[in-house]
Structure 1
Amino acid sequence: MKKHSGMRPHDIVILLKIAAKQDRSWYMKDLSYELGISGSEISESINRSVIAGLIFPDKKRLMKTAILDFLQYGLPHVYPQQPGALVRGVATAHSAPPLNEVIESQEAYVWPYGKGDLRGQSIEPLHPNVPEACLKDKKFYELMSLCDVLRVGRAREKNLAIVELENGLC
């Protein structure tokens, strides 16, 4: 068995892209194309996720409860984020669906992206290609935005995000 060298931020991106596909079949080359991540990185990431117990050894089925636990309890500590400067970008965290329908806020959080349509405080995405990939996949966008709530949100926002993630993953 390969040595586990620790999870990387894009491992979460890849797992959530698989989750967004729900029951549709997929290939690693599909993930590579849709996320703009090399095929070898996708393969290595999935191997790390198998070792971490986040995806079954068949490399097709997610261990959804384990992923949810990692997102809830690990993500804010392993990949913390502090809102940065005001920039143009794509809405994230509570500024994006699905929580933007429930939470009203004067502060907008965005992933920096030149083609974005919102100005707000910058949140560094877990991978540089996340904003572009999210604009092409609504379900993936929602899951990634909910992850950012766990990284930068307050307790109420985090609780809402966890419920939404449970619904989105399971």
Structure 2
Amino acid sequence: MKKHSGMRPHDIAVLLKIAAKGDAPWLMKELAIELGISASEVSESLNRSAIAGLLSKDKKRLMKSAILDFLESGLRYVYPQKPGAKARGIPTAHAAPPLVHEIESSEPYVWPYAKGTVRGESIEPLYSNLPEACLKDPLFYEYMALCDALRVGRARERKLAIQILRKGLLDE
């Protein structure tokens, strides 16, 4: 196995895309197309995740408890984000499902995206094609928006986000 040179932001998206598929079979090529990244980058991502213990050695099974531990304890430190300038985009964090139904806020967070319909404070997505990939898969979108709640949210948003992620990943 290759040397581990550290996780990359899109590794989280690859893992959560697999999680969103549930028990459905998946291929690296399909993940690449659906996520808008190259097949070689998906392959490298799976290697890094296996080395980190977030994916089984055969790269077929998610280590869901380990993923949740990383998301809850490390995501906001490894991939920190501060809301930026106002932009048009796609809602994320507490402004997106499922937290939008739980948290009231007058200022939405958005991933900047030219075809977006909401104006709010910008949050840089974990990788550039994330907004487009999320528009194609509602469950994946929820998982990624919850990750942003973990990255930028206050204690209450983070607590709700991890509860929802835990339920989605472990109670499937």
Question: Is TM > 0.5 for Structure 1 vs Structure 2?
Answer: yes
Aligned to 1:6: 6
1:159, 1:2 → 2: CA distance? 35
2:48, 2:63 → 1: CA distance? 13
Q: Does 1:77 align with 2:77?
A: yes
Unaligned segments of structure 2, at least 5 residues = none
Q: Does 1:66 align with 2:66?
A: yes
Query: C-alpha deviations, 1:122-160, integer Å up to 9, x for none?
Result: 000001111000011000000000000000000001000
2:127, 2:101 → 1: CA distance? 26
Aligned to 1:141: 141
Aligned to 1:117: 117
Tell me the CA shift for residue 25 of structure 1: 0.3
DSSP 3-state at the match of 2:74:
helix
- Which amino acid is 1:40 matched to? S
Aligned to 1:99: 99
Tell me the CA shift for residue 45 of structure 1: 0.4
Question: How high is the sequence identity, in percent, across the aligned residues?
Answer: 70
1:116, 1:11 → 2: CA distance? 24
DSSP 3-state at the match of 1:159:
helix
Dislocated runs of 4+, deviation >6 Å: none
1:58, 1:3 → 2: CA distance? 16
Query: C-alpha deviations, 1:40-79, integer Å up to 9, x for none?
Result: 0000000000000000012111000000000000100000
Tell me the CA shift for residue 167 of structure 1: 1.1
- Which amino acid is 1:11 matched to? D
- Which amino acid is 2:112 matched to? P
DSSP 3-state at the match of 1:34:
helix
1:166, 1:80 → 2: CA distance? 21
Query: C-alpha deviations, 1:2-57, integer Å up to 9, x for none?
Result: 10000000100100100100110000000000011000000000000000000001
1:76, 1:101 → 2: CA distance? 23
Aligned to 1:51: 51
2:88, 2:169 → 1: CA distance? 30
1:111, 1:16 → 2: CA distance? 18
Correspondence list, 1:10-25, <5 A: 10-25=10-25
The aligned length equals 170
Unaligned segments of structure 1, at least 5 residues = none
The alignment's C-alpha RMSD in Å is 0.5
Tell me the CA shift for residue 168 of structure 1: 1.4
1:5, 1:157 → 2: CA distance? 31
